[in-house]
Amino acid sequence: MKRTLLLFVALSALVLVLVGCSDTSALETENANLKAENEAMKAENEAMKAQIEEGMAMLAAGTLPMGDGESRLNTVRERGKVICASRDDVPGYGGIDAAGNNVGFDIDLCRALATAVLGDPSAIEIRLINAAERGPTIQSGEVDMLVRTVTWTSSRDAGWGNYAQTMFYDGQGFMVRADSGITDALELEGATVCVTLGTTTELNLQDFSDQNGLGITVSTFEDTDAVVAAYDAGQCDSFTNDNSQLAALRTALSNPADHVILPNTISEEPLGPVVPHGDDQWFDIVKTVMAILIYGEAYGISQSDVPSAATDNTKVDRLLGISGAFGQEELGLSETVAQDVLKAVGNYGEIYDRNLGPSGINLPREGGRNALWANAPCTDCPKGGQIYAAPLR
Amino acid sequence: MDSASRLLTYQGIPVWRHVQIIQWAVQIVSGILVVALVVWFFSNMVGAIQDRDIPSGFSFLSREYQTPIGEHFIPYESSDTFLYALLVGITNTAIVAVAGVFLATALGIFIGVSRLSSNWIVSKLAMVYIEFFRNVPLLVQLFFWFYIVLELPAIRESFVVADAFYLSNRGFSMPWPKATEYSVAVIWLGLAAVAIVAGWLVYRRQARMEEQTGRSGYPLIYSFATALVIGAIAWLILSFAGGSSPFYISMPEPQGRFGNIVGGFTARAGLLVLLTGLVMYTASFIAEIVRAGIQSVGRGQTEAARALGLSPMSTLRSVTFPQAMRVIIPPLISQFLNLTKNSSLGGAVAYSDLTNIAVTMTQTAPAVSIFMLIMASYLAMSLTWSLIGNLYNRHIRFVGG
Residue A10: predicted pLDDT: 56
Whether the ipTM is more than 0.85: the answer is no
Neighbouring residues of A67: CB distance < 8 A, sequence distance ≥ 6: A61, A141, A276, A278, A279, B51, B52
Please check whether residue A280 touches B, CB under 8 A: no
| A134, A157 contact by CB (below 8 A) | no
Please check whether residue A132 touches B, CB under 8 A: yes
Please check whether residue A222 touches B, CB under 8 A: yes
Q: What number is the average pLDDT over the span A329-358?
A: 92
- Residue B86's pLDDT band, with cuts at 50, 70 and 90, is very high
State yes or no: pLDDT of A89 exceeds 80: yes
- The rounded distance, in Å, linking the Cα atoms of B96 and B340 is 8
**Ramachandran quadrant class, A338 (left: phi over 0; alpha: psi -120 to 50; beta: rest):** alpha
Distance (Å) from the alpha carbon of B157 to chain A's nearest alpha carbon = 11
Residue B395: predicted pLDDT: 83
- Asked, colleague to colleague, whether A72-168+271-355 and A172-267 share their fold, the answer is yes
Distance (Å) from the alpha carbon of B14 to chain A's nearest alpha carbon = 8
Residue numbers in A near B348 (CB within 8 A): 221-223, 226
Domain residue spans of chain A: 33-62, 72-168+271-355, 172-267
Highest-confidence segment of B47-56, B236-245, B304-313, B330-339? B330-339
Neighbouring residues of A306: CB distance < 8 A, sequence distance ≥ 6: A320, A339, A342, A343
Sign of torsion, CA A58 A59 A60 A61?
positive
Q: What number is the average pLDDT over the span B177-186?
A: 81
Residue A46: predicted pLDDT: 67
Q: What number is the average pLDDT over the span B357-378?
A: 89
User: Mean pLDDT lowest for which of A362-366, B125-129, B174-178?
Assistant: A362-366
* Cβ count within 10 A of residue B399: 5
Residue A360: predicted pLDDT: 83
Q: What number is the average pLDDT over the span A183-206?
A: 90
- The rounded distance, in Å, linking the Cα atoms of B67 and B77 is 9
- Residue B401's pLDDT band, with cuts at 50, 70 and 90, is very low
β-pairing verdict for A95-96 and A238-242: unpaired
Q: Taking a contact as any Cβ pair under 8 Å apart, which residues of chain A between 231 and 270 contact chain B?
A: 233-235, 237
pLDDT digit string, tens, across residues A41-78: 666 666 666 665 555 555 444 444 444 558 999 999 99
Amino acid identity, residue B388?
I
State yes or no: pLDDT of B167 exceeds 60: yes
* Summary mean pLDDT of chain A: 83
Residue B241: predicted pLDDT: 79
Neighbouring residues of A173: CB distance < 8 A, sequence distance ≥ 6: A185, A240, A241, A242, A243, A246, A261, A262, A264, A265, A266
Q: What are phi and psi of A301, to 5 degrees?
A: -95, 110
Residue B122: predicted pLDDT: 95
CA angle B385, B95, A189 (to 5 degrees): 160
pLDDT digit string, tens, across residues A276-329: 988 999 999 999 999 999 999 988 899 999 998 888 888 899 999 998 899 999
Residue B318: predicted pLDDT: 84
B15: nearest CA partner in chain A: A1
| A214, A191 contact by CB (below 8 A) | yes
Q: What are phi and psi of B398, to 5 degrees?
A: -60, 135
- The rounded distance, in Å, linking the Cα atoms of B338 and B335 is 5
Residue A298: predicted pLDDT: 87
Residue B226: predicted pLDDT: 86
Q: What number is the average pLDDT over the span A160-182?
A: 92
Buried b (16+ CB within 10 A) or exposed e, A86-112: bbbbbbbbbbeeeeeebbbbbbbbbbb
Residue numbers in A near B274 (CB within 8 A): none
Contact between A159 and B55 using a beta-carbon 8 Å cutoff: yes
- The rounded distance, in Å, linking the Cα atoms of B236 and A162 is 65
Please check whether residue A180 touches B, CB under 8 A: yes
Q: What number is the average pLDDT over the span A190-214?
A: 90
State yes or no: pLDDT of B400 exceeds 80: no
CATH number listed for the domain at residues A72-168+271-355: 3.40.190.10
Distance (Å) from the alpha carbon of A339 to chain B's nearest alpha carbon = 34
- The rounded distance, in Å, linking the Cα atoms of B230 and B235 is 9
Determine the length of chain A.
Answer: 393
* Cβ count within 10 A of residue A187: 15
Q: What number is the average pLDDT over the span B3-18?
A: 74
Distance (Å) from the alpha carbon of A206 to chain B's nearest alpha carbon = 6
Asked if the B55-148+269-401 domain carries CATH number 1.10.3720.10, the reply is yes
Q: What class is the A172-267 domain? A: alpha beta
Residue A21: predicted pLDDT: 46
Strand partners, A219: A194
Q: CA B88 → CA A41, A332, B65, B72, distances in Å?
A: 63, 51, 12, 6
Q: How many CB pairs under 8 A join A and B?
A: 142
Which of A221, A228, A240, A274 is most worth mutating to test chain B (most B CB atoms within 10 A of its CB)? A221
State yes or no: pLDDT of A3 exceeds 60: no
Q: Taking a contact as any Cβ pair under 8 Å apart, which residues of chain A between 314 and 333 contact chain B?
A: none
Residue numbers in A near B68 (CB within 8 A): 195, 202, 205-206, 209, 216, 218, 220
Q: E strands along chain A, which residues? A: 82-86, 95-96, 102-103, 124-128, 145-146, 161-163, 168-170, 172-177, 192-196, 217-221, 238-242, 259-261, 269-271, 274-276
Which has more confidence, A11 or A163? A163
Please check whether residue A27 touches B, CB under 8 A: no
- Residue A380's pLDDT band, with cuts at 50, 70 and 90, is low
Contact between A155 and B364 using a beta-carbon 8 Å cutoff: yes
Residue numbers in A near B260 (CB within 8 A): 190-192, 217, 237
Q: Percent of chain A, pLDDT > 90?
A: 47
Domain residue spans of chain B: 3-51, 55-148+269-401, 183-248
Q: How many CA atoms lie within 13 A of A176 on its CB side?
A: 23
* Cβ count within 10 A of residue A28: 11
